[in-house]
Structure 1
Amino acid sequence: MSEPVVHITNLHLRYHHKTVLQDLNWTINRGENWLLRGSSGSGKTSVAKAIAGLVKFEGDIDINFDLHSSLAPVAHYVANWYQFKDLEGQSNFYYQQRYNKQAEETTATVRAELENYGKNYHLDFAEAERLVTALGFSDLIDSTLIQLSSGEHKKLQLVEALWFRPQLLMMDQPYNGLDKLSRQHLNSLLEEISAAGTQLVLISNDKDLPSCINRFAEIKGGQLHETDAGHTAHFQEEENRPVPEFLSEGPISLADSIVKMNNVNISYGDKQVLKNINWEVKAGEKWLLQGHNGSGKSTLLSLITGDHPQAYANDFSLFGHRRGSGESIWDIKKRMGLISPELQWYFDPSATVKQSIISGFFDSSGLFRQPNYTQQMQANELIGYFGLKEYQDTLMNQLPLGKQRLAFLARTIIKNPELLILDEPCQGLDQHQAQHFNELVDELCSNGTTLIYVGHFESQLPACIEKRILLENGEVKSVETILESI
């Protein structure tokens, strides 16, 4: 009998004075491909990072690579989002920078990033090009990294991981930001590398998995428990709390139309990203914005949030006023709240949960002003409403993902905005977390708040959604009513 690839004995790991893993044991035998489930903060990521040698731990982890294999003798961990640097090695980007022409000149293109990656690991670039094509990413190969959306960053991260072909590949939330078709393509590629000898550990609560996954486990109470394929991770029931009184009355909208676009076009050089977009969002409406990766959703939202400079060159109105008629970007932002993957990437890592929530009053990526008494009291109410009291002094980037999203929702809603924009807010959340999050959205929007919600999957949407706009290749493919307002 051959020795196991990974043998873990009595793994103990603490993270910021909290025990995450307690005497965990796990054996990964040759030919096994695992799915690792668990609630947010249960320790899934910590186990993978420990195997990859990226965190300190107590206990024993023995890894036995096949020295006769052509695959890299590496336990390779792929994080849940792609982190990149500019040409000077800096990574302190800010949210609006992706629309800054100068920033494009200081960040590498996708092609250059891949060429550098291939050079470092002595890989054949032709294989990278094949993977780029397979993931539907080839038309962006000459785009700069800062121009990419969250789903496009994920595809680049996946291309590099699949191209590397390690003996053990551990992927944390590999489906984040991917549309349904891209997920299918990824599963085909995972089955391909598995057949070639790479063993997989996928950290995910998704149901659509590659057929090569043949072992299942859940981390609960700091230990690993093997389960069957149909097992659902254990979740604690969420406590229902009354909505804070200051949010019970709807925001006052002075215009019937919140967003109005007439034949809007956006181009980058010779590439047209949005083509003749006509769309009106009226006060109080709840919209779903959908489209495949690269369809133009992120660019469309950047016009609404005031971050895209080409808004001024189009017939486009917000809150009843034509863009460019004298309002500042801050005049716009104080009337809306936003959650997006990009905002989370660029958020101040030194901000605590409470500071982050209060920063929503000032539309800043961190708290750089002293709040008044009323603002502090409203933040306290929201912290209680979202069940975050025990985390209020914790740094945002130290929170489990599910708690992070609740804190960002609190930050987004704190000023009772007229327009709430939620761009894939459930990305990376399990079904239970997504359901809880969307139930909160339904409750918070019941006061008449206008909502634009971006989500790929109908199973992870708020019940209040009334209408849908679908983009395809930068054009409006369809607009439809999902349900009639009551």
Structure 2
Amino acid sequence: MTQPIVHITNLNLKYHHKPVLQELNWTIKRHENWLLRGISGSGKTSLAKAIAGLVKFQGDIEINFDTERNLAPTVHYVANWYQFKDLEGQSNFYYQQRYNKQATETTATVRAELESYGKKHQLQFSEAEQLLAALGFSDLIDSTLIQLSSGEHKKLQLVSALWLKPQLLIIDQPYNGLDKLSRHHLNLLFEEITAAGTTLILISNDKLFPPCVHRFGEISGGQLIEISANEHTLEFDEQESKPIPDFLKEAPVSSADSVIRMIDVNVSYGEKQVLKNINWEVKAGEKWLLQGPNGSGKSTLLSLITGDHPQAYANNLYLFGHQRGSGESIWDIKKRIGLISPELHWYFDPLATVKHSIISGFFDSSGLFREADYTKKTQAAELIDYFGLTEYQDTLLNQLPLGKQRLAFLARTIIKNPELLILDEPCQGLDQQQTQYFNKLVDELCKNGTTLIYVGHFETQLPACIEKRILLENGEVKSAGKILEPVLK
């Protein structure tokens, strides 16, 4: 009888001293491909890391590789996001650094990163080039790692994993940050690698999954329960809504009728033009969806609005009624904006507690470096309760499951009841319950006149209040205006 590739017996695992998995048993036979789901904090990532040998546990995990297969006899785990270092081995980046020319000169390119990886694992670079082309990533091969968006970082992770051809491949949140076409091409690549013999485990609450996946499990109460494909696509029980804090019921103070006005805006890096003749106006109270394929220029466009991109001064750009470069500081701009993005999360202070991370939203800082007054602390406490984070408020942010980290960032984003909300992939890492809960809050805030720019690739992760859409392609505006038809992803 053929040995299973994975056999887990009585697995017990704690996450920062808290029991997460208890007496868990699981057998994965060869040629089985699984999709695991579960609410945030249920232990999905911990289980994946245990199988990959990355965390300590009690119990037994038996991995049986097939020595006759022409596949790498290894377990390869792809994390939620890509953590990289500069050429000096440092990883203490800050958010605005990705737009700093000096920083790009000290960070490896995609090509160099892949060449190093290929040399380490004795792989043919031509195979990596085929994967880059399949995921629409070839044009960015000479970009530096710090310049990449969240979706582009995910593609780099996926290229490396698929290039390695491991016997067991575990991917945490495979579709995070990917546009519709990239998700389709990724599923085709999953079909190819599993047909060649790789066993695949995907960790995802998304309803999307490749045809090669035919086994489904849910982590609940520390146990793995096998479910059907139909059960996987069912919604989690809706989280009971609480009344939003009173301070968020007040209409934000509007400083101008036109919040954003761009006239023939262009951004280039050397010979590469990232934004081309952008004309766009966002009026106070409007709710916009910003969309476009990976690499279309969305992150760069947002960085001009938030004041983080130095080329804002070289363009005809008006924010809150003032032309950039006419005397207002970056802090004058930021005090009117609530921002969340995957990149801001990556580069945040790792030593900040949940409470301090949320309060830092008042000061637009990456961590809390000054004392907050009584009112600010009270508002933070209200949001901590609203998002169900009371028991974690004094815990370091990076010690929480990803979903709860994101909730803390969402609280940070709205704490000053800003005039403009910029929500860039805000629901990455959230389970369905948390996504629905947060989007209801966004809808409530927008009833009070908050201006919104929302970036999202998944229709199921959008708030109902969105009324307009701007679509970018290759750095140009393909369309902009009211949404008259179903939103395409």
TM bucket (normalised to shorter chain) is over 0.9
User: In the alignment, which residue of structure 1 is the partner of 2:350?
Assistant: 349
Cα deviation, 1:392-419, whole Å, max 9, x if unaligned, reads: 1122122223322221111111111110
Cα deviation, 1:35-76, whole Å, max 9, x if unaligned, reads: 111111111111110011100000001111001111111011
Partners of 1:324 and 1:234 in 2: how far apart?
48
Give the alignment of 1:322-401 within 5 angstroms: 322-401=323-402
Which 10-residue stretch deviates more, 383-392 or 464-473?
383-392
The answer to whether the 8 Å contact 1:36/1:203 transfers is yes
Partners of 1:398 and 1:290 in 2: how far apart?
32
User: In the alignment, which residue of structure 1 is the partner of 2:321?
Assistant: 320
User: In the alignment, which residue of structure 2 is the partner of 1:79?
Assistant: 79
Superposed structure 1 runs of 4+ greater than 4 Å apart: none
Partners of 1:461 and 1:235 in 2: how far apart?
17
Partners of 1:133 and 1:237 in 2: how far apart?
40
Which residue type is aligned with residue 376 of structure 1?
Answer: K
Residue 320 of structure 1 and its aligned partner are, at CA, apart by 0.2
Residue 483 of structure 1 and its aligned partner are, at CA, apart by 7.0
Give the alignment of 1:210-359 within 5 angstroms: 210-232=210-232, 235-359=236-360
Q: Which SS does the other structure have where 1:293 is aligned?
A: coil
Q: Which SS does the other structure have where 2:230 is aligned?
A: coil
Gaps of 5+ in 1: none
User: In the alignment, which residue of structure 1 is the partner of 2:188?
Assistant: 188
User: In the alignment, which residue of structure 2 is the partner of 1:165?
Assistant: 165
Residue 236 of structure 1 and its aligned partner are, at CA, apart by 5.0
The answer to whether the 8 Å contact 1:247/1:444 transfers is yes
Q: Which SS does the other structure have where 1:254 is aligned?
A: coil
* 1:437 partnered with 2:438: yes
User: In the alignment, which residue of structure 2 is the partner of 1:408?
Assistant: 409
The answer to whether the 8 Å contact 1:38/1:234 transfers is no
Partners of 2:204 and 2:345 in 1: how far apart?
20
Partners of 1:428 and 1:289 in 2: how far apart?
20
User: In the alignment, which residue of structure 2 is the partner of 1:47?
Assistant: 47
Partners of 1:66 and 1:121 in 2: how far apart?
18
User: In the alignment, which residue of structure 1 is the partner of 2:422?
Assistant: 421
Cα deviation, 1:434-464, whole Å, max 9, x if unaligned, reads: 2222111111222111110001122211111
Gaps of 5+ in 2: none
Residue 249 of structure 1 and its aligned partner are, at CA, apart by 1.1
Which residue type is aligned with residue 184 of structure 2?
Answer: Q
User: In the alignment, which residue of structure 2 is the partner of 1:56?
Assistant: 56
User: In the alignment, which residue of structure 2 is the partner of 1:102?
Assistant: 102
Which residue type is aligned with residue 26 of structure 1?
Answer: W
Partners of 1:380 and 1:426 in 2: how far apart?
22
Task: State the number of aligned residues.
Answer: 484
The answer to whether the 8 Å contact 2:241/2:437 transfers is no
* 1:206 partnered with 2:206: yes
Which residue type is aligned with residue 244 of structure 1?
Answer: P
Cα deviation, 1:174-197, whole Å, max 9, x if unaligned, reads: 110000100000000111011111
Q: TM-score, length-normalised on structure 2? A: 0.97
Q: 1:174 to 1:401 in 2, by over 3 A?
A: same
Q: 1:405 to 1:445 in 2, by over 3 A?
A: farther
User: In the alignment, which residue of structure 2 is the partner of 1:16?
Assistant: 16
Cα deviation, 1:419-445, whole Å, max 9, x if unaligned, reads: 000001112333333222211111122
Partners of 1:5 and 1:234 in 2: how far apart?
31
Which residue type is aligned with residue 196 of structure 2?
Answer: A
The answer to whether the 8 Å contact 1:465/1:483 transfers is no
Partners of 1:181 and 1:348 in 2: how far apart?
34
Give the alignment of 1:170-181 within 5 angstroms: 170-181=170-181
Partners of 1:252 and 1:388 in 2: how far apart?
28
Which residue type is aligned with residue 362 of structure 1?
Answer: F
Partners of 1:129 and 1:69 in 2: how far apart?
24
Cα deviation, 1:82-121, whole Å, max 9, x if unaligned, reads: 1111001111100000000000100011000000000111
Which residue type is aligned with residue 34 of structure 1?
Answer: W
Cα deviation, 1:283-324, whole Å, max 9, x if unaligned, reads: 111110000001110000000000000001110000000000
Partners of 1:311 and 1:114 in 2: how far apart?
32
User: In the alignment, which residue of structure 1 is the partner of 2:474?
Assistant: 473
Partners of 2:53 and 2:387 in 1: how far apart?
35
Which residue type is aligned with residue 47 of structure 2?
Answer: V
Which residue type is aligned with residue 59 of structure 1?
Answer: G
Instruction: Please give the root-mean-square deviation of Cα atoms over the aligned residues, in Å.
Output: 1.3
